[in-house]
Amino acid sequence: MHVRFPPIFLLWMLFFMTANAQSMDCTGKLGHWLFREDFGSGTGHGPALPPGVTNMAYTPYCPADGFYTLVNTSEGCAEESWHKVTHDHTGNNNGYMMMINASNEPSTFYTRMVPSLCPATTYEFSAYILNLLKNTVVGPTVQQPDILFSIETTTGEVLETLRTGPIAASAGPVWKKYKLAFKTPDNVSSLVLKISNNAPGGPGNDLLLDDIEFITSAPKLTIPTAFSPNGDGVNDVWNVINLDAYTDCVLTIYDRGGAVVFKSIGYNTPWNGTRSGVPLDTGTYYYVIDFKNEIPRVSGWVFLIR
């Protein structure tokens, strides 16, 4: 028996195989990127995106209204009205970014399926946008980019959206990061990202897009300022809510003299107010949580009550 797939399916599969993505990992580690689109690198203009990713026309030159290209610099394009951007946001050598000269009508200019997501899991989406227009370009018809990010199921159900509103022009080139958190439904492991421009083209509404990412979302910690390990069954351990999700973190607790009284990799077993099994005295103790990733360290004092 031979199975025939439609051409568009084969194109999507080719796009997935060349994507900068990681395989599904539902072990609970957080803050790790799952999918990243940085548009690659090279000399001159980059190649056209695969069919189905954008409804805009590709050009290997500076784009006119309704066109896009991949560039590693904006030099030579609309220099009187556009910022001179000499490198992409990623910082790769000759790294590409998507240069977009908006269509005359608002439209979806980027669509991408994101596979290998874990069901019932919270993720964070982010992307960087740069308004190419200089703030010296003014007038009643001048438009600023107004971007809508939409996270949807493959059947079209919208899970979460983020609208930037008009992105103000600036004196110099400024990359702005936009992000949103969303949770996958119980039976969903693939989603669709859509990026739309809500403003019309014409004068202005020109932008750069780079570093589209999906990462597992880092939950907010709830850190008690005191606990009472006296055996009454209430607050007998220092229960830092959600810290157990950061499986690579290192928690270190010091007494007022600077000696380490407790240290843990991960936090599967909360601190019970002892040092090597010996109960510690009433007092304040200093803690440091090192997440071992890009999240800043957290530190503070906890009061132990006997």
How far apart, in Å, are the Cα atoms of 291 and each of 146, 213, 241, 263?
A: 35, 20, 15, 13
d(CA 233, CA 239): 13
According to CATH, the topology of domain 226-304 is Immunoglobulin-like (2.60.40)
d(CA 15, CA 142): 36
In the chain, ranges of CATH 2.60.40 domains = 226-304
pLDDT at residue 244, rounded to an integer: 82
Among the listed residues 243, 227, 186, 191, the one whose alpha carbon sits nearest the alpha carbon of residue 212: 191
Collapsing DSSP to helix, strand or coil, 11 comes out as: helix
The two three-digit tokens of residue 186, written as one number: 């119980």
pLDDT at residue 258, rounded to an integer: 96
Burial of 200-224, coded b for 16+ CB within 10 Å and e otherwise, reads bbebbbbbbbbbbbbbbbbeebeee
pLDDT at residue 203, rounded to an integer: 81
pLDDT at residue 43, rounded to an integer: 93
Q: How far is CA 49 from the centre of its chain?
A: 21
Decide: pTM greater than 0.85. no
Could you tell me if 175 and 101 are in contact, meaning their C-beta atoms sit under 8 angstroms apart?
A: no
**Residue 118 CB partners (closer than 8 Å, separation 6+):** 24, 25, 26, 184, 189, 216
CATH number of 7-216: 2.60.120.260
Assign 3-state DSSP to the chain and report helix, strand, coil percentages, each to 5: 5, 40, 55
- Residue by residue, pLDDT tens for the chain (306 residues) are 333 434 433 333 333 333 455 555 565 555 566 788 999 999 999 999 999 999 999 999 999 999 999 999 999 999 999 999 999 999 889 999 999 998 878 889 999 999 888 888 888 899 999 999 999 999 998 999 999 999 999 999 999 999 999 999 999 999 999 999 888 898 888 999 999 998 877 788 899 999 999 887 767 789 999 999 999 999 999 999 988 878 789 999 999 999 999 999 989 899 999 999 999 999 999 999 998 877 789 999 999 998
The two three-digit tokens of residue 88, written as one number: 């992409």
Sign of the alpha-carbon torsion through 150, 153, 156, 160: negative
d(CA 91, CA 123): 24
pLDDT at residue 225, rounded to an integer: 97
d(CA 125, CA 133): 25
d(CA 80, CA 305): 67
pLDDT at residue 246, rounded to an integer: 82
How far apart, in Å, are the Cα atoms of 255 and each of 96, 237, 274, 298, 302?
A: 51, 17, 11, 17, 10
pLDDT at residue 218, rounded to an integer: 66
The two three-digit tokens of residue 251, written as one number: 């928690």
d(CA 8, CA 52): 8
d(CA 135, CA 234): 59
**Residue 159 CB partners (closer than 8 Å, separation 6+):** 151, 152, 153, 182, 183, 184, 185, 191
